[in-house]
């Protein structure tokens, strides 16, 4: 965990307005959809060690807003996006969350809230009765009592188990038996260590070294890499956002110019991560030695087509937006924003205490629900008196009693251009074996 600095001043990044600035009165139950602009708050690290996370979430909002705004808005109300920088620290996330809520009475939803700061900011957002779609994998949210919390991706334990599955059962290699755990010393990265250790060792593997690394810029990792190589691992399991390139380059240098196979979490399916590691060790070694885990996205269909169109158009506001076309978190948060807007339409309410519960119904569907894939089609079905189920760019969601949606995992690699390539898929039996070993 990075140092807790209670008096650090928060940095709240300025608004980027898609079509209109926020304004208007506060929500009230039964008063219809109201008037004035609506805001989606993106609270995440935009600076600090995990600064690569925030842009993926911001891109999701920039793609979702025109899907809504170009199709009548929410009862005519336009949606805009604003960044709130948590810096990946609870001490900074709390004032950022308070500023976001206090300054924006027409806040319709919040996206982001990563494992770094979610434990501190999610209760604040929940008390304000604002639906949130958090990208935290912490197990404390597996059975959360927060009514406004939604998680569209599995908990970190499932990412960890998928990495173990890749090491033991993945294609293209004999089972790895000695793993080095090289994870950042931040809250989010360290969440993978215990479940990976538990599952890997109970299935016959050995943890050669558990090495939390400092993610501060300028760290050379010469000493850390020397210590890791001395344990002779045959694979590295890793998430060290912002530091992976430097660390892996040092591995190649100290290992006589030869890489060790490395397996990354789903957060390493990211254009910034790809570029940093490619530039550090070369694209050929990245493609040859890297394996990752991800959810089973199709990257196709009407929802994805609209997502891509809007994501590409968002380059005029955020130049890197199109790079997130295969980023799972971007797809899911896009869907979360669309589902929130549809829930407001379905309940004819601007009051989140009214429309919040409708989000789950729209995601899971009810008997006889009409399946829709775009905001436009969803609004049309609602106006026709139909109940709907939204299957969006990230695919089908299935929320449990705690508003957690869990999907199956695939094993992936990269091609030379940084595109995700499916290499295999965990079978139900493999998933059950690893989960049982991990203690689920």
Could you tell me the residue ranges of all domains in the chain?
15-155+300-390, 156-296+404-438
Dihedral (Cα; 339, 341, 342, 347), 10-degree rounding: 120
| Same fold? 15-155+300-390, 156-296+404-438 | yes
Highest mean pLDDT among 61-75, 148-162, 406-420: 61-75
Contacts of 145 (CB under 8 A, 6+ apart): none
Residue 233 has pLDDT above 80, yes or no: yes
pLDDT exceeds 70 at position 423: yes
User: Using N-to-C axis directions, what is the helix angle for 53-69 and 302-313, rounded to 10°?
Assistant: 110
Read off the pLDDT band of 440 (50, 70, 90): low
Arithmetic mean of pLDDT, 22-43: 70
CA atoms within 13 A on the CB side of 331: 27
Q: Is the pLDDT of residue 243 over 60?
A: yes
The domain 15-155+300-390 is placed in CATH, from the list 3.10.580.10, 3.40.50.300, 3.40.50.1980, 3.40.50.2300, at 3.40.50.2300
Q: What percent of the chain has pLDDT over 90?
A: 84
**97-123 pLDDT per residue, tens:** 999 999 999 999 999 999 999 999 999
Question: What pLDDT is recorded for position 55?
Answer: 98
Tell me the pLDDT band of 15, cut-offs 50, 70 and 90.
very low
- Give the list of residues 6+ apart from residue 278 with CB closer than 8 angstroms, or none: 286, 418
- Check pLDDT > 80 for residue 7: no
Q: Determine the pLDDT at residue 268.
A: 96
CA dihedral 321, 324, 330, 334 (to 10 degrees): 50
| CATH fourth-level superfamily of 156-296+404-438 | Response regulator (3.40.50.2300)
| Residue 300 CB burial class (10 angstroms; 0-12, 13-18, ≥19) | exposed
Digit-coded pLDDT (tens) for 263-272: 999 999 999 9
Average pLDDT on 206-232 reads 96
CA atoms within 13 A on the CB side of 196: 31
pLDDT band at 398 (very low <50, low <70, confident <90, very high): confident
Query: What confidence score (pLDDT) does residue 136 get?
Result: 94
Average pLDDT along the chain: 91
The pLDDT, as a whole number, for residue 5 is 32
């Amino acid at each position: 965990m990075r140092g807790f600095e209670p008096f650090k001043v928060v940095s709240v990044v300025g608004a980027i307005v898609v079509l209109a600035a926020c304004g208007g009165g506060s929500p009230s139950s039964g008063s219809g959809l109201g008037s004035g602009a609506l805001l989606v708050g993106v609270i995440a690290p935009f600076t600090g060690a995990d600064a690569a996370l925030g842009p993926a979430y911001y891109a999701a909002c920039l793609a979702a807003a025109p899907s809504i705004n170009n199709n009548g808005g929410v009862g005519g109300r336009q949606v805009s996006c604003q960044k709130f920088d948590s810096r990946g620290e609870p001490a900074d996330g709390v004032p950022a969350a308070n500023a976001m809520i206090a300054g924006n009475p027409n806040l319709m939803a919040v996206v982001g809230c990563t494992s770094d700061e979610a434990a501190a900011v999610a209760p604040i957002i929940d008390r304000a009765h604002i639906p949130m779609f958090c990208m935290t994998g912490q197990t404390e949210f597996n059975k959360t009592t927060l009514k406004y919390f939604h998680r569209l991706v599995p908990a970190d334990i499932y990412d960890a188990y998928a990495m173990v599955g890749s090491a033991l059962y993945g294609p293209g290699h004999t089972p790895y038996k000695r793993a080095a755990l090289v994870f950042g010393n931040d809250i989010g990265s360290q969440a993978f260590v215990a479940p990976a250790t538990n599952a890997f060792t109970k299935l016959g593997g050995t943890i050669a070294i558990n090495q939390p690394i400092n993610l501060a810029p300028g760290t050379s990792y010469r000493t850390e890499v020397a210590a890791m190589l001395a344990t002779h691992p045959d694979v590295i399991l890793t998430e060290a956002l912002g530091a992976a390139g430097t660390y892996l380059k040092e591995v190649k240098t100290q290992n006589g110019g030869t890489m060790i196979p490395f397996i990354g979490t789903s957060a390493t399916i990211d254009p910034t991560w790809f570029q940093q590691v490619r530039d550090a060790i070369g694209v050929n070694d990245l493609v040859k030695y890297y394996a990752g885990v991800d959810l089973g996205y199709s990257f196709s269909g009407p929802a994805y087509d609209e997502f891509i169109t809007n994501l590409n158009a968002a380059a005029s506001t955020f130049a890197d937006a199109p790079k997130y076309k295969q980023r799972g978190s971007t797809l899911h948060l896009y869907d979360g924003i669309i589902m929130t807007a549809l829930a407001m339409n379905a309940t004819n309410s601007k009051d989140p205490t009214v429309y919040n519960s409708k989000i789950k119904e729209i995601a899971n569907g009810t008997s006889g629900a009409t399946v829709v894939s775009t905001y436009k089609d969803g609004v049309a079905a609602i106006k026709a008196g139909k109940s709907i189920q939204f299957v969006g760019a990230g695919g089908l969601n299935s929320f449990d009693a705690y508003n957690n949606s869990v999907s199956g995992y695939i094993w992936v690699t990269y091609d030379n251009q940084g595109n995700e390539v499916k290499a295999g898929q965990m079978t139900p039996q493999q998933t059950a074996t690893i989960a049982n070993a991990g203690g689920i």
